[in-house]
Amino acid sequence: SFGRVGEELGAQVYLVGGMVRDLLLRQDNFDVDLVVEGDGIAFAREIAAREGCRLRTHQKFGTAVLIFADGFKVDVASARMEYYQQPAALPTVEYASIKLDLFRRDFTINTLAIALNEGSFGELLDFFGGQRDLKDRAVRVLHNLSFVEDPTRVYRAVRFEQRLGFRMGRPTEHLLRSAVRQGFIERVGGNRLFRELELILREPDPWPAIQRMADLDLLKYIHPNLKVDARMPGLVAETRRVVHWYQLLYLHQPCEPWLVFLLSLTARLDDDSMLGMCRRLKVAPRFLDLLCEQRRAAKKVLAGLRRRVRRGTEPKASDLYRMLRPLDSEMLLFLMALGDDSIRQWVGHYLSSLQQVRCELNGHDLERLGLPPGPLFREILDTLLAGRLNGRLHSRDDELALVR
Ligand code: CTP
């Protein structure tokens, strides 16, 4: 009904961006981005009223998000031209034709649009050679200042190249390298840079993009000491394997593979550099614990496990449990990627089974048995759990017998 509502409001409506690109490449993409030649917010309001979906609007930008009952989202923008007056000033929005709206975009392959209004429905708009570049498998900017206007596009170019199996056009790569040489990336806010890095590490196999970032001298903006050394390819490949293994376990435990890749990418940074990187990139507090505190703790755990490998002693299940329990699954997977076969097996065993082990008795049971509540409870329950982990206790009766 998008086209019909547009028609009624006297506004042209277009499907734009990644979805059109991926439609032509026959790849899945579920991000619906619409541009309305006119008042996008009024259009979104009308759709929301008719379809009974939720609506979020940003007046300042003339944009809206429609949220359907099943969680499906549609982004709506008003065709606009942005005047960047001061670097920090918010852009003033004006209605403009779809062509100008598309001209602001990063790469030609992202400038294709499909008309949705009745009468012109399905018409493909291609002002800047997007179809040609899809055919050439080329990432090309629309004009010489693209990377200067928005230096995060440097990272986007790398991501699209690797994701789509495309290559930057030569002039585009030239412009990119020159923007990098002139230090434009230093002007990018830390959190925007971190977001771009996240998107790269969210690709199924981030290795080619990491290599390409090294090749284009982009890693130093993440941290000056960050380098791709001889061990990095092996570590990233191992990370991919353990992440894949973990996904096949279907444990329904939250795990963000991109964070495991981030840990691998930064494995050689010392603690101070890691902290420096997190500060510079304004890493959110929820990641800081993993990237700094847990990483320090995990190094000690790894050293302990390596000592056992050298001595040829197998850790007791309860010891493994105690060592690994404070660590998130991302860190555990990182340890698996770093470790040798024995360590991988031990940590893998913890993730796939030990972690789920529980004893049956609880505090109430102990009280009913007439034991005085207090620190003793914790000790007893820990002993019971250790008994379960080490395979000495198998049932509630076993546990009761031990307590009595
Ligand atoms: N865009 C841009 N410069 C940026 C970010 C985005 O010009 N720094 C433009 C792109 O042309 C893109 C559109 O804004 O088509 C929407 O951005 P986004 O959703 O990030 O891009 P998609 O192409 O949809 O990419 P993805 O498939 O990763 O969602």
Q: Are 62 and 80 in contact (CB under 8 A)?
A: yes
Q: How high is the pLDDT of residue 137? A: 98
Which residue lies with its CA nearest to atom 15 of ligand 1?
Answer: 17
DSSP 304-364: HHHHHHHHT-PPPHHHHHHHHTTS-HHHHHHHHHHS-HHHHHHHHHHHHTGGG---S--HH
Residues 6+ away with beta carbon under 8 Å from 391: 317
31 lines ligand 1 (CB under 6 A): yes
- pTM (2 d.p.): 0.90
* 139-173 tens-digit pLDDT: 999 999 999 999 999 999 999 999 999 999 999 99
17 Cα nearest atom in ligand 1: 15
Of the given ranges (249-253, 295-299, 326-330), which has the lowest mean pLDDT?
249-253
Asked whether the predicted pLDDT for residue 81 surpasses 90, the reply is no
Q: How confident is the model at residue 87 (pLDDT cuts 50, 70, 90)?
A: very low
| Assembly ipTM | 0.95
Asked whether the predicted pLDDT for residue 366 surpasses 90, the reply is yes
Q: How confident is the model at residue 404 (pLDDT cuts 50, 70, 90)?
A: confident
Q: How confident is the model at residue 38 (pLDDT cuts 50, 70, 90)?
A: confident
Percent of the chain with pLDDT over 70: 96
* 380-391 tens-digit pLDDT: 999 999 999 999
Cα 70 to ligand 1 centre (Å): 24
Mutate to test the pocket of ligand 1, among 82, 110, 159, 184 (most ligand atoms within 8 A of CB): 110
Q: How confident is the model at residue 328 (pLDDT cuts 50, 70, 90)?
A: very high
Cα 154 to ligand 1 centre (Å): 13
Distance (Å, rounded) from C-alpha 352 to C-alpha 231? 27
